[in-house]
């Protein structure tokens, strides 16, 4: 789960919007099926976490 948070954080730092990240998850789920959907929940959770935090700094308080 930690790696998913890191990847979402890095994407936000690189200028990706939350909408772009979630769209990429949707496409990956469509192409990858069941195993991908399992990990997509973690991406959604990370996105919500960084929406609450300031996206310009890294919040270390992970659930």
Which tens digit of pLDDT belongs to each residue from 6-44?
888 899 889 998 889 989 988 988 888 778 888 888 888
Cα 1 to chain centroid distance, Å, stands at 10
Task: Using pLDDT thresholds of 50, 70 and 90, give the confidence band for residue 63.
Answer: very low
**Quick one: pLDDT at residue 20?**
92
* Cα 25 to Cα 63: distance, rounded to the nearest angstrom: 21
**Quick one: pLDDT at residue 12?**
87
- Find out whether 49 and 62 touch, Cβ atoms under 8 Å: yes
Task: Give the position of tokens 């997509």.
Answer: 40
- Predicted confidence (pLDDT) per residue in 47-57, tens digit: 888 877 654 55
């Amino acid at each position: 789960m930690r790696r998913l948070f890191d990847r979402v954080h890095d994407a936000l730092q690189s200028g990706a919007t939350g909408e772009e990240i979630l769209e990429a998850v949707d496409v990956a789920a469509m192409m990858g099926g069941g195993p991908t959907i399992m990990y997509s929940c973690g991406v959604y959770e990370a996105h919500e976490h960084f929406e609450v935090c300031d996206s310009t700094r890294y919040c270390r308080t992970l659930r």
